[in-house]
Amino acid sequence: MGITKSDIGLIRVLFPEEAPFEQALRKVFPNFKIVKNDSACSEIRIQFTEYFSGQRIAFDLIMDLQCPPFYKKALKEIEKIPFGKTATYAEIAKRAGNAKAVRAVGSANANNPLPIVIPCHRILNTGGDLGGYGGKLERKVYLLELEGSL
């Protein structure tokens, strides 16, 4: 996985299939200066390691969430879903202030720049089906099993 930090905070989490990461980042942030600095991301790496080893159930990171206002609102609601729990797109739309915005929540979820940290894998279809996952369905199943919610 790739993790990227701005001067503000965590700005992007990349899955292996997005490699080479620098090339993927240049597409999203064409005007940013990209500098490889592993030590700048050490706390982020530690928290990811703790999460994947079962020692962490919530991330405590400063985020630089760059997305449209409703996406940000929806992702902030998704961030509140506790470890080991799930919610539906409809529930998140309602919590975000617009019960009719189910598709917009789906779009925000699909474009989540901080997967795992903002746990978009915890979102299920209204009927309780897994639905899709931008980071591959097998990864969603793995994450839900890791959290004991599947």
**Where is average pLDDT lowest: 3-17, 50-64, 105-119, 129-143?**
129-143
Catalytic residue positions, numbered:
120
Q: What pLDDT is recorded for position 36?
A: 87
Q: What pLDDT is recorded for position 133?
A: 81
pTM of the model: 0.92
Please report the domains of the chain, with CATH numbers, ordered by start residue.
2-52 (no CATH), 69-146 (1.10.10.10)
DSSP E strands in the chain: the ranges are 2-5, 10-14, 87-88, 123-124
